Structure 1
Amino acid sequence: MKFNSNNLKIHKLNLEDSLEKFDFDCGDEDLNNFLFIDSFKYIQNNLSIIYLIFFQEELVGYFSLSSDAIKIKTLEIKHGFYPAVKIGRLAVNKKYQNQGIGSFIIKSAISIILRTRNDIWIRFLSIDAYNDNKVIHFYSKFEFETLLKIKNRRNIPMYLDINMLR
């Protein structure tokens, strides 16, 4: 079953929110711990903005955005690092995986960046994808490119050139 994006709601997590009532498990302990243990610290220290994704009243996913800079040598203008926004964490509840919520999250992150890029220049969307063919293929469907691929590395840096979305 694919979710109709009209049935999904985005909520920006803030310090007054509570996550205690939600039964969320994405199957990855690190991503679960980030949400329930670290997310408020990241908000409090201005390190990330976290967005929660709801279907009705159930928490079905989340993602975080933070500032980043990436080095790319193929652009016409030679610049040390280029401004980017990083999707630091992205997770979907196990009960709702493979139903289009991850795609909704990527499209939502892109939409947020496109809305803000006129106020602060952003050239790229970056992500450190798990070094797994299925994960890399998922991001590749959205035109993310591999920045650097090292065989035994846990994460693979990938990027999307926002200018290509115009």
Structure 2
Amino acid sequence: MTDADHEKMSAFSCGVKELDDFFRYEVRECVERKYLSAYCAYTESDGIVAAFTLMNDAIMIPSENEKEDFFDDLRLEEDSAAVDFFKRQSSYPAINIGHLGTSVEFQGKGIGMTIIEFVAGTFSQYKQAGCQFITVDALNNERTIRFYLNNLFIFQTNRDFCSHTRRMYRILQ
């Protein structure tokens, strides 16, 4: 995200105050402190269509029961070598989409899905570091959860059912 992007964020709204405030008031410091990287998608007329952030992450599975559920969700049963490999790991490298907002006027047009597919395509071929998953901490509301479920994300746990956000992941192919 460039200085010009930051200036244009004052006119950006995805309709979720928490995300709008983050992109307007907090994202610059997060980028400067190397906490995350931020990106904007533009229209041909130079208006911001969407904004999103990426940061390194890892999936950690705290209990044996959750680990078994995790392996079931991976659907690796036909590949016993892959199951054995995954079971030996203590964490699983991921890229986190920390924030994703599409401008109100462009919602429902596939922009968010396109960004997720862009991230999936980029990191499934990324060779500089290991990356097996995309993770999100989705705002726990029906619309947001449905969006991520429709984009192939799975709940990491049910322990966060009543939390402000739900931890979800998507397998990179």
TM-score bracket relative to the smaller structure: 0.7 to 0.9
Residues 57 and 94 of structure 2 are in contact (CA less than 8 Å); yes or no, is this contact kept in structure 1?
A: yes
Residues 155 and 166 of structure 2 are in contact (CA less than 8 Å); yes or no, is this contact kept in structure 1?
A: yes
Measure how far apart 1:26 and its partner are: 0.9
The one-letter code matched in structure 2 to 1:90 is L
Matched with 1:64 is 53
Pick one of 119, 131, 134 that aligns with 2:143.
134
1 CA distance for matches of 2:129 and 2:144? 29
2:97 maps to 1:87: yes
Using structure 2 for the length normalisation, give the TM-score. Answer: 0.79
Residue 6 of structure 2 aligns to a residue whose secondary structure is coil
5+ long unaligned stretches in structure 1: 1-12
Which deviations, in whole Å up to 9, do the C-alpha atoms of 1:96-154 show, x marking residues without a partner? 111111111111211221242x1101111100112123322221222211101233111
Matched with 1:19 is 6
Using structure 1 for the length normalisation, give the TM-score. Answer: 0.82
Residue 15 of structure 2 aligns to a residue whose secondary structure is coil
Residue 19 of structure 1 aligns to a residue whose secondary structure is helix
Q: How many pairs does the alignment contain? A: 149
Q: Percent identity?
A: 26
Q: More deviation in 56-65 or 66-75? A: 66-75
Matched with 1:29 is 17
2:166 maps to 1:159: no
2:115 maps to 1:105: yes
The one-letter code matched in structure 1 to 2:169 is Y
The one-letter code matched in structure 2 to 1:38 is E
1 CA distance for matches of 2:22 and 2:149? 25
Residue 122 of structure 1 aligns to a residue whose secondary structure is coil
Cα pair distance change 1:160/1:46, threshold 3 Å: same
**Structural mapping, 1:44-55, within 5 Å:** 44-55=32-43
5+ long unaligned stretches in structure 2: 62-66, 72-82
More strand per residue: 1
More helix per residue: 2
Q: Which stretches of structure 1, 4 residues or more, deviate above 4 A after TM superposition?
A: none
Measure how far apart 1:18 and its partner are: 4.5
2 CA distance for matches of 1:102 and 1:86? 15
